[in-house]
Chains A and B, each alone.
Chain A
Amino acid sequence: MTEEKAAPKKEKIPRQKMPEQLPEVRRKNFEEVPFGYTPELAQKEAERCIQCKDPRCVPGCPVEIDIPGFIRLIKEGDFEGSIRLLWEKNALPAVCGRVCPQEVQCEGLCIIGKKDEPVAIGNLERFAADHQRLHGRDILPPKADPTGKKVAVVGSGPSGLTVAGDLILKGHDVTIFEALHAPGGVLVYGIPEFRLPKEIVFSECNYLEKLGVKIECSQVIGRSDTVDELLEHFDAVYLGVGAGLPVFLKVPGEHYIGVYSANEYLTRSNLMKAYDFPNYDTPLVRGKNVATFGGGNVAMDSARTALRMGADHSYIIYRRSHAELPARTAEIHHAEEEGVEFLFLTNPLRFLGNDDGFLTGVECLRMELGEPDSSGRRRPVPVPGSEFVVDIDTAIISIGSGANPLLTQSTPGLALNKWGYIVADPKTGKTMKPRVWAGGDIVTGAATVILAMGAGRLASNSIHDFLTYGW
């Protein structure tokens, strides 16, 4: 590799750590864990990028950000230039810098990572966005002349926000319809404050409103209006309604008080601010012994929220082993540091409760790893006779989510796959229904923020073509 040869022998700068709250402190508060880079740290980290001519990191980013480009501008101290470059490809850099699984995307491919730790691309992206939000001047990008075309975007998650941001700049009249009372999708109701401060999401939504996007909250499409009714008033409709259907374990005892879906647990604590009860009106069981079932980001968020809600023990109960945990490395690491206890190779059989209906425990079975399954991961198989009980008063089920049928059932003409997700052209987001596009989790199943945004970008290009040229 030419880049490797080009790498100078000059003093090696180690990857700059982002200062963060100490684990003992942060496990009791909801403030964001990492503080972010100072300009000095950011510039130092930026120096580690060797500005590859043929950068490997870029194809690792689903929206192909000009990574060496924005990093060079940080190095040169042109922070505004850096954010402008980021915005060309990514409408939510403050969010992606924080939540992308960088280790399997951009940073996973960074050449420096071959011998050393990769360049902290996510941290730098976050820095550029935060610096702009906190210290930058208000810059609004140029907007095309009004086209007179109207677009409805259903759902205000990352994919819907991307579509709205793109199309407003192209001169179309855009209205977002959101079922909940606040915009942001999973970014507000799911991902906790300590990982993604809500203020950032609201500031991104405000920015869209400044550009002229109308955001109508508390509009449940399928009930308030149907998609067909939207089509009477709008030239095109984008469906970005996410994968908001809770999946339960389907074991006995799931009705006991204290058993939550992760969606409910996180919605109560984030969107409804139950952690600030009774100052806010929505309550949440404050368990002393909490078990979260699952191993993804949602599970980490739930288990860490439980600690902050005052749990003495917050367990993660996972069928497979540490190596198979699907969560971002940073989240697993943070969870471990904060004292989340992992019970690997453990499968729940049933919940136990008392006569008043309160959860008291969960009976589990130990597993061992057998042959690899279709996903290439070794399949867990039960160890006969290994039943044991974990005493818990709260359970959070976080084993994935499905397609919420509310909108799709009320929309004739959409093709759905066997799991209920909307069938859409992967290149354009076009659905089988004329003038209707879809993207994000409702098409792919639960995925990532940046993939939802990437799908939004493809769809907005296709919608623009349709509105401009009729195809």
Chain B
Amino acid sequence: MFEIVARQEMAQGTIISNWVKAPKIAKKAKPGQFVILRANEKGERIPLTMADTDPEKGLINIIYMVVGKSTALFKTLKVGDSYLDVIGPLGQPTHLEKVGKVVCVGGGTGIAVLYPITRGLKQMGNYVYSVIGARSKDLLILEDEMKAASDELFICTDDGTYGHKGFVTDVLKKVLTEHQDIGLAVCIGPVPMMKFCSLMTKEFGVKTLVSLNPIMVDGTGMCGCCRVQVGGKMQFACVDGPEFDGHETDFEELTLRLRSYLPEEKASYDLFQKEHAPGCSCQK
């Protein structure tokens, strides 16, 4: 059993942070890797990236957005409760190297995935520009952490309640134009955001990493559920990724495949909400 030792609600309760006791995983995990969690015997296996780890205390940090039944179920877990399974670390660690100047772009919960990578890049001695965005000010997460992990931090909100009004791509364009010597871009967030960031960096000829989030089952390369097309080749995101070259990724296919179970997911979530109706703040 994997106990939750600290819990925090972010972005008005739409995003939850858990510190979970998993000493073995905490010791091994590297930036970019993820875990698969199951809340209980009937639960789905849900992949979440480790936003941080504390190897001394044996803790890992996951930060997730409540989007459906399983994440809503996770949200009901309190400090002292446990996940039944936490499996990992899975996936390839980010290849961190010194390239000089880099730009890290994060949107929504993608910022949680981006944060350890940004910190890693900075520790390698890179000069880090970061651009993070959310729909509005209340939904922005990890601003302080990202500030500490970057040399320059830019913020955008879709509604202009904080920082630049508009999309992260606007600011990305500005950064890329002003600093032609940027050698690497890391863009993590919703699929459309990653797609448009990649299109933009391609114009500037800047190598780009994205972190793909296809639906997964086992996370060990056994089922093929997480297959994505990268450079015209079938890749399994759970073992070959989750990070891939943004210029080679087929985002359309990923978008379609993420919709595989929309009716089932809705039915499952509705049922869950009915069962957990009173006093639950997670309804959209």
Contact = CB atoms under 8 A, between A and B. Distances in A.
Interface of A: 179-181, 217-218, 220, 223-224, 244-246, 248, 254-257, 260-261, 263-264, 267-268, 272-273, 277-283, 285, 356-357, 404-406
Given A245-B221, A406-B239, A278 B267 contact: yes
Contacts of A280: 42
16 contacts: A218-B85, A248-B224, A256-B256, A257-B256, A257-B259, A261-B225, A263-B223, A267-B217, A267-B222, A277-B264, A277-B268, A278-B268, A281-B44, A283-B268, A404-B222, A406-B239
A220 B220 contact: yes
B71 to A, nearest CB: 11
Given A267-B222, A278-B271, A281-B70, 15 more contacts: A179-B87, A223-B89, A244-B220, A244-B222, A248-B224, A254-B227, A255-B229, A257-B259, A264-B225, A267-B218, A272-B44, A272-B45, A273-B42, A278-B264, A281-B73
B87 A220 contact: yes
B273 to A, nearest CB: 12
B86 interface: yes
B82 to A, nearest CB: 13
Contacts of A283: 261, 264-265, 268
Contacts of B259: 257, 356-357
A356 B234 contact: no
A281 B42 contact: yes
Interface in B250-268: 253, 256-257, 259-261, 264-265, 267-268
A224 B25 contact: yes
A405 B221 contact: yes
Contacts of B256: 255-257, 356-357
| Interface of B: prevailing SS | mixed
Nearest to A179: B220
Given A246-B222, A257-B257, A268-B217, A181 B264 contact: no
Nearest to B253: A255
| Listed residue (B73, B85, B219, B220) with the most chain A CB atoms within 10 angstroms of its CB | B220
Contacts of B84: 181
Contacts of B45: 181, 272, 282
Interface string B140-183: 00000000000000000000000000000000000000000000
Contacts of A277: 264, 268
A270 to B, nearest CB: 11
Contacts of B234: 248, 254
Nearest to B24: A224
Contacts of A278: 69, 264, 267-268, 271
Nearest to B43: A281
Contacts of A282: 44-45, 217
A393 to B, nearest CB: 12
Nearest to A286: B264
Given A257-B259, A278-B264, A264 B223 contact: yes
A61 B63 CA distance: 53
A108 B42 CA distance: 42
Contacts of B223: 246, 261, 263-264, 267
Contacts of B189: none
Contacts of A260: 224-225
A255 B222 CA distance: 17
Given A179-B220, A246-B223, A264-B217, A255 B257 contact: yes
Interface of B: 24-25, 28, 38, 42-45, 69-70, 73, 84-90, 217-225, 227, 229, 234, 239, 253, 256-257, 259-261, 264-265, 267-268, 271
Contacts of B227: 248, 254-255
Nearest to B264: A283
A281 B268 contact: yes
Nearest to B86: A218
A231 B218 CA distance: 26
A405 B84 CA distance: 27
Nearest to B39: A281
B257 to A, nearest CB: 6
A244 B221 CA distance: 8
A278 B84 CA distance: 19
Contacts of A261: 223-225
A246 B24 CA distance: 29
Among B28, B88, B224, B261, the most chain A Cβ lie within 10 Å of the Cβ of B224
Contact of A406 (B25, B220, B225, B261): B220
A357 B90 CA distance: 28
Contacts of B220: 179, 220, 244, 404, 406
Contacts of B218: 179-180, 267
B275 to A, nearest CB: 11
For the complex of A and B, the 3 pairs showing the least CB-CB separation, nearest first, are A357-B256, A283-B264, A264-B223
A356 B255 CA distance: 10
B69 to A, nearest CB: 6
A223 B88 contact: yes
A404 B88 contact: no
A246 B222 CA distance: 6
Contacts of A254: 227, 234
A356 B252 CA distance: 11
B255 to A, nearest CB: 8
A31 B69 CA distance: 28
B42 A279 contact: yes
B43 A263 contact: no
A224 B217 contact: no
B225 to A, nearest CB: 5
Contacts of B257: 255, 257, 357
A181 B221 contact: no
Nearest to B250: A255
A220 B29 CA distance: 13
Given A223-B89, A281-B69, A263 B260 contact: no
A268 B260 CA distance: 14
A220 B90 contact: yes
Contacts of B24: 224
Contacts of B90: 220, 223
Nearest to B41: A280
Contacts of A223: 28, 88-90
Contact of A224 (B88, B221, B264): B88
A404 B264 CA distance: 30
A259 to B, nearest CB: 10
Nearest to A404: B221
B138 to A, nearest CB: 29
A281 B28 CA distance: 29
Contacts of B42: 273, 279-281
A11 B218 CA distance: 55
A218 B219 CA distance: 11
A431 B28 CA distance: 27
Nearest to A355: B256
